[in-house]
């Protein structure tokens, strides 16, 4: 609430206004970037200076926790990419004084989800990523596309000259919005934008029709960009003819936000603008900032369809409770009180968002989802076994463990009122303690274990050397990389082995050819462990889980649950935080918990630090920061570290990957970024710019500065869904080289050059340097601030 109050103030503060679009002057990228503390524009720094106080936070000294390292200091130059705010789309746009129609939609007439086939996109949408986009934003956008591919039938393809496409750019200020520029209405709208008809006819007399049309298009775009508060001329909706622009500006480079903006492009309005919203939420008109009331209008159900889906408080398209407020009080009050902290989530698509999108686009399957199995059904998802003994058994509980399956572990039963709840049900809100249920309602309790099923192979009863293979049905993944994700509970002997094979079928091998992808033995025993196995399948295939009994005596075996297969790359690393509620109860605010160090495919060493109970200035949130650390390959790596994108995702441990709403945050190493005092490159070798970390065994390493956010997730959201299951949380971590995104997206060969140059003229604030300029990092070519420092 304080955040929104600050933002209201900032929107009135002249110093916090966005700068006007940069003049098109050719400046090398290295100099173009203002070497400010956080590398942000003047507009953001204005807000930053006024409203945040990024101080040095000391972490109290403590010992080493299993698999997790704590230390007594954090680098003073920790960078909060959110400037300490929990920004939502509307806050960002409001701070930039953008009076868009519905917070982030730049249009006039329109529909929640537009009725009529002619407005629908084809299910594969051409996109163009303009050069103005920040590198991190480009990576986030591509990641958001992967979510669409996994969970819907919508796919995205690089623009190849198709008439209709979405062009994504960085707006000239910190903002996220979507608008349409409809070629058909250009002639009328340009007059609405203040260009007189006589001026237009003069223009037309000098130009042929084609060039005139282009000129008008450019003119409209220039006018629209410079006058974003002007909405009345633009047509609403999703697919219109021609190029439609979508802005992903500063602070908009988050997965949920990008999904939200593209849902607008696909034809969806905000959830609270549904015709029936007054049945579910109460709009507090007197708390809305004067002049912003239009953000809360509803759309008639004759033009807007809810697609038969009930009102969804958890929609990624719902405003948060404090959107456009004047004080600190909410502008939206949910009729069911427990949804107050649910509205405004930007983790990603809700189940209802997906239902609506899939209904509107008649989706029957997604392009990258392959299979999900929690073994709840008796047919065990069509898995088969060869005749003979021993076998994998569908089990609820095994005496040697596990006592219950993973799917239903710790799921909550929520009672509507106190009378219906058993006496032992805890009342909420209460302090987090291990084993307690975090329900959405006032009263909740854990269901006892053993609600679901898993597959178990007993190495205790099998003879040494015996094996059993559990084979999936025929699967048809997209050729290329696939990720097989599953939970494994191992109580067997150290030499028992679980082999992950793929049996591929082609003409030459009609009975299938087996390829081994991973062998698992030992590891953490006696708990459900997450495994991610990268596969590479090119045709029809079965996944085979082969359990092999070793020679040592066993009193248990292997258990499998919650299998997911998708045509995506696996996360590279998993950081499991065990007993997180206990840790949260004992960790003071301002203390940072560090993951082990991991290696990226390129060889960079990194770790993640989490403020479980928030930074001392930001309690009630979990903060999350990415650090480069010293590692074994540092002498062979490029420094400052160029364009590695870290993806940090808190896993929603739902059994079906399509329903997982993981909370993501991505940051990218910009080799041009300099430290706040201008003396060092921010992402330089941690041995040079980091601080020494001594571990409990006396060994040491170096940790570079952290970049991330103090407002990664609120505690109330952390306790929602299945972020914490069995009292454990999982972070899925990857560090990917995205330097290929430095190159401008190739323009379609078929596109005529007039169009291409028209786009360039409008879209580019200033030209980007070529990729090769960024790849080499000659230290002699220092930014001016370094030279003068």
Using CB under 5 A as the binding rule, the residues of this chain from 410 to 469 that contact Zn ion are none
Residue 106 binding Zn ion, by CB under 5 A:
no
Least spacing, CB of residue 88 vs Zn ion, in Å: 10
Q: Which is nearer to Zn ion, 104 or 672 (CB)?
A: 104
Annotate 585-608 with DSSP letters as a single string: HHSPTT-EEEPPPEE-TTS-EEEE
Q: Minimum distance between the CB of residue 93 and Zn ion, rounded to whole angstroms? A: 9
271 binds Zn ion (CB under 5 A): no
| Residue 775: other Cβ atoms inside 10 A | 13
Spatial contact of 334 and 281, defined as CB atoms under 8 Å apart: yes
| Nearest-approach distance from CB 250 to Zn ion, in angstroms | 17
Q: How far is the CB of 270 from Zn ion (least distance, A)?
A: 6
Could you tell me whether strands 605-611 and 598-599 are parallel, antiparallel, or unpaired per DSSP bridges?
antiparallel
Give the nearer residue to Zn ion in terms of CB position, either 97 or 104.
104
Is residue 88 at the binding interface for Zn ion, with CB under 5 A as the rule?
no
What's the helix, strand, coil split of the chain in %, to 5? 25, 25, 50
* Residue 460 Cβ vs Zn ion, minimum distance, rounded to whole Å: 56
Per rule CB under 5 A, is residue 104 in the interface with Zn ion? Answer: yes
Nearer to Zn ion, 112 or 768 (CB): 112
Any known ligand binding at 715? no
Q: Please state the closest distance from residue 104 (CB atom) to Zn ion, in A.
A: 4
- Picking from 393, 390, 398, 397, the residue whose alpha carbon sits closest to that of residue 378 is 393
Pick left, alpha or beta for residue 700 (phi over 0 → left; psi -120 to 50 → alpha; otherwise beta). beta
Nearer to Zn ion, 179 or 496 (CB): 179
Q: Which residue is nearest to Zn ion (CB)?
A: 104
Minimum CB separation from Zn ion for residue 619, in Å? 29
**Residues 238, 265: Cα–Cα separation, whole Å:** 5
The alpha carbons of the chain give a radius of gyration, in whole angstroms, of 27
Q: Taking contact as CB under 5 A, which single stretch among the options 14-22, 99-107, 150-158, 344-352 is the one that binds Zn ion?
A: 99-107
Q: Which is nearer to Zn ion, 325 or 485 (CB)?
A: 325
* The one segment of 96-104, 589-597, 627-635, 758-766 that binds Zn ion by CB under 5 A: 96-104
Query: x/- contact string, 671-710, with Zn ion (CB under 5 A)?
Result: ----------------------------------------
Over 475-498, what HEC string results?
Answer: ECCCCEEEEEEEEEEECCCCCCEE
In this structure, are residues 317 and 294 in contact, taking their beta carbons and an 8 Å threshold?
no
Task: Count the helices and strands in the chain (H runs, E runs).
Answer: 16, 32
Between CA 256 and CA 727, with CA 314 as vertex, the angle to 5 degrees is 85
> Does 179 interact with Zn ion (rule: CB under 5 A)?
no
Task: Report how far residue 645's alpha carbon sits from residue 627's, in angstroms, rounded to the nearest whole number.
Answer: 12
Cα 263 → chain centroid: 15
Is there a binding annotation on residue 57? no
Parallel, antiparallel, or unpaired for β 663-668 and 644-650? antiparallel
Q: How far is the CB of 282 from Zn ion (least distance, A)?
A: 21
Total of chain residues touching Zn ion, rule CB under 5 A: 1
H, E, C per residue of 142-162: HHHHHHHHHHCCCEEEECCCC
Smallest separation (angstroms) from Zn ion to the CB of 647: 24
Which residues face 412 on adjacent strands? 446
User: Which of these ranges, 103-111, 410-418, 511-519, 520-528, lies near Zn ion under the rule CB under 5 A?
Assistant: 103-111
Q: Which residues are catalytic?
A: 261
Kind of pairing, strands 557-566 and 528-537?
A: unpaired
Other beta carbons within 10 Å of 644: 26
Q: Which residue number, 104 or 405, has a Cβ lying nearer to Zn ion?
A: 104
3-state secondary structure of 616: coil
Q: Please return the burial class of 386, using the count of CB atoms within 10 Å of its CB with bins 0-12, 13-18 and 19+.
A: exposed
Question: Any contact of residue 259 with Zn ion (CB under 5 A)?
Answer: no
Nearer CB in complex with Zn ion: 266/584: 266
Strand ordering across the sheet containing 124-129? 105-106, 176-180, 243-248, 165-169, 124-129, 155-158
3-state SS track over 196-217 = CHHHHHHHHHHCCHHHHHHHHH
CA distance 571 to 530: 11
Nearer to Zn ion, 273 or 709 (CB): 273
Q: Which of 2-10, 102-110, 653-661, 705-713 is the region at the interface with Zn ion (rule: CB under 5 A)?
A: 102-110
Q: With respect to Zn ion, which residue has the nearer C-beta, 154 or 622? A: 154
According to CB under 5 A, which residues from 637 to 666 bind Zn ion? none
Contacting positions for Zn ion (CB under 5 A)? 104
Which residues sit in the known binding site for Zn(2+)?
A: 260, 264, 270
Which residues sit in the known binding site?
A: 260, 264, 270
């Amino acid at each position: 609430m304080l955040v929104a109050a600050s933002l209201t103030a900032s929107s009135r503060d002249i110093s916090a206004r966005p700068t006007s679009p940069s003049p098109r002057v050719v400046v090398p990228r290295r100099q173009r970037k203002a070497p400010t503390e956080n590398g942000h524009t003047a507009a953001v720094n204005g807000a930053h200076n006024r409203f945040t106080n990024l101080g040095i936070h000391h972490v109290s000294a403590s010992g080493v926790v299993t698999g997790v390292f704590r230390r007594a200091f954090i680098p003073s130059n920790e960078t909060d990419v959110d400037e300490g705010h929990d920004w939502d789309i509307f806050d960002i746009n409001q701070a930039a004084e953008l009076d868009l129609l519905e917070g982030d939609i730049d249009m006039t007439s329109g529909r929640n989800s537009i009725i009529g086939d002619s407005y629908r996109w084809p299910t594969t949408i051409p996109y163009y990523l303009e050069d103005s986009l920040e590198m991190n934003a480009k990576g986030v956008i591509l990641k958001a596309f992967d979510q669409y591919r996994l969970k819907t039938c919508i796919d995205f393809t690089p623009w190849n000259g198709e008439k209709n496409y979405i062009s994504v750019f960085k707006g000239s200020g910190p903002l996220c919005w979507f608008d349409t520029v409809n070629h058909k209405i250009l002639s009328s709208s340009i007059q609405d934008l203040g260009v007189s008809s006589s001026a237009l006819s003069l223009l037309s007399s000098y130009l042929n029709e084609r060039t005139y049309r282009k000129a008008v298009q450019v003119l409209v775009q220039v006018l629209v960009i410079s006058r974003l508060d002007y909405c009345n001329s633009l047509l609403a909706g999703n697919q219109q003819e021609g190029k439609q622009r979508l802005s992903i500006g500063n602070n908009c480079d988050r997965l949920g936000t990008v999904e939200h903006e593209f849902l607008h492009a696909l034809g969806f309005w905000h959830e609270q603008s549904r015709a029936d919203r007054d049945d579910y939420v109460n709009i507090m008109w007197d708390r809305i900032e004067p002049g912003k009331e239009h953000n809360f209008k509803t759309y008639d159900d004759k033009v807007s369809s809810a697609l038969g889906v009930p009102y969804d408080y958890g929609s990624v398209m719902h405003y948060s409770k404090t959107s456009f407020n004047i004080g600190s009080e909410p502008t939206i009050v949910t009729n069911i009180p427990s949804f107050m902290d649910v509205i405004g989530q930007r983790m990603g698509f809700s189940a209802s968002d997906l239902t609506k999108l899939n209904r509107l686009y008649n989706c029957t399957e997604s392009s990258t989802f392959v299979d999900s199995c929690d073994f709840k059904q008796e047919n065990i998802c069509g898995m088969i076994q060869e005749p003979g003994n021993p076998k994998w058994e569908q089990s609820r509980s095994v005496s040697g463990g596990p006592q219950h399956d993973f799917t239903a572990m710790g799921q909550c039963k929520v009672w509507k009122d106190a009378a219906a709840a058993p006496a032992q049900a805890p009342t909420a809100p209460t302090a987090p303690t291990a084993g307690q249920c975090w329900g959405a309602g006032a009263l909740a309790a854990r269901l006892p274990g053993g609600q679901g099923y898993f597959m178990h192979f007993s190495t205790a009863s099998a003879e040494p050397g015996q094996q059993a293979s559990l084979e999936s049905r025929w699967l048809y993944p997209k050729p290329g990389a696939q990720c097989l994700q599953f939970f494994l509970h191992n109580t067997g002997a150290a030499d028992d082995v679980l082999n992950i094979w793929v049996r591929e079928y082609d003409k030459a091998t009609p009975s299938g050819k087996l390829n081994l992808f991973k062998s698992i033995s030992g590891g953490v025993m006696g708990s459900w462990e997450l495994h991610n196995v990268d596969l590479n399948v090119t045709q029809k295939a079965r996944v085979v889980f082969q359990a092999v009994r070793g020679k040592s005596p066993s009193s248990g075996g292997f258990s499998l649950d919650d299998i997911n297969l998708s045509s995506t790359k696996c996360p590279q690393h998993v950081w499991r935080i065990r007993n997180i509620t206990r840790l949260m109860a004992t960790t003071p605010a301002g203390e940072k918990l560090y993951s082990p160090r991991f290696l990226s495919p390129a060889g960079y060493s990194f770790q993640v630090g989490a403020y479980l109970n928030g930074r001392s200035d930001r309690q009630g949130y979990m903060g999350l920061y990415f650090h480069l650390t010293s590692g074994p390959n540092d002498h062979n790596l490029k420094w400052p570290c160029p364009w590695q994108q870290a993806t940090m995702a808190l896993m929603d441990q739902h059994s079906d990957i399509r329903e997982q709403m993981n909370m993501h945050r991505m940051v990218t190493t910009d080799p041009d970024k300099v430290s706040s005092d201008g003396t060092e490159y921010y992402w330089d070798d941690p041995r040079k710019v980091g601080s020494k970390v001594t571990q409990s065994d006396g060994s040491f390493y170096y940790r570079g500065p952290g970049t991330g956010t103090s407002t990664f997730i609120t505690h109330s959201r952390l306790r929602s869904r299945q972020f914490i299951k069995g009292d454990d949380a999982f972070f899925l971590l990857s560090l990917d080289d995205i330097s290929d995104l430095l190159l401008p997206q190739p323009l379609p060969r078929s596109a005529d050059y007039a169009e291409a140059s028209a786009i360039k003229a409008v879209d580019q604030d200033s030209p980007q340097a070529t990729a090769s300029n960024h790849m080499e990092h000659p230290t002699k070519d220092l930014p001016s601030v370094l030279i003068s420092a």
